[in-house]
Homo-oligomer: A and B are copies of this chain.
Amino acid sequence: MKSKYMMIYNDLVSQIEKNKLKPNDKLLSENEFIKKYEVSRETIRKALNLLAQNGFIQKIRGKGSFVLDINKFDFPVSGLVTFKELSKKLNKNSITILDKLELKEPEAYIKKELNLENQKIWEVIRVRNIDGENIILDKDYLDSTVVEYLDEKICKDSIYNYLEDQKKLDISFAKKEITVEGATKEDYKLLDMKNFDMVVVVKSHVYLNDASLFQYTESRHRPDKFRFIDFARRNKNS
């Protein structure tokens, strides 16, 4: 955030997103960046490595760093991103409908997913309406010992906003699993399923900075509207 390499990273990301740096453009060399930002080489390299990791640039030894033509920003992207952040980027006409908000004893399988003892959980069921159609069903389960309070307003806006900005929780990482399953009665009831009989299910376990699990989520998508984009670098360690 305030670290030098993060500021340089954010500066370059915004230049790429604003198209001030275009695909195939050559960045300044590391030595030129050193002069421009008045920092050491390793600091520049941290920023550039982050850009490479996230698919913005490709570094080529002996040649330089080049902007990639991966327009990840037209679509949903991998990573840990909230629905609100996404719909903002996509410029879609989206509404969130709160179907259920309840502090309750967890069902057995939720208890298992969240490794709970006797804590209660918040169950939040929300329907995402995009361009007039109910497309996504989000079912969230949050450990009430971590998240003591929730209300309708928070759920309709963004739970993560509240947790990060108000509660200062440090949401750190998630394990996500994508599968395709038969639609349930609940899916048919809450979503505009047309003639589809399957849904894409994204199950997430979300962890705080101290590696504690606090949230389990099932995000159920009508198959024709589901899209997941991933940028992957190849590992050749072994």
Contacts and interface: CB of A to CB of B under 8 A. Distances in A.
Interface of A: 1, 6, 9-10, 13, 42, 53, 55, 58, 60, 63, 66, 68, 70, 72, 75, 78-80, 164, 171-180, 198, 200, 207, 209-211, 223-224, 226-238
Given A66-B211, A230-B178, A237 B1 contact: yes
Interface residues of chain A: helix, strand, loop or mixed (majority): mixed
B234 A10 contact: no
A137 to B, nearest CB: 16
A226 B180 contact: yes
Contacts of A198: 180, 198, 223
24 contacts: A1-B236, A6-B237, A9-B237, A53-B53, A55-B173, A58-B209, A60-B210, A70-B175, A79-B232, A164-B236, A172-B233, A174-B231, A175-B229, A175-B231, A176-B229, A177-B229, A177-B230, A178-B178, A178-B227, A178-B228, A178-B230, A179-B226, A180-B198, A230-B230
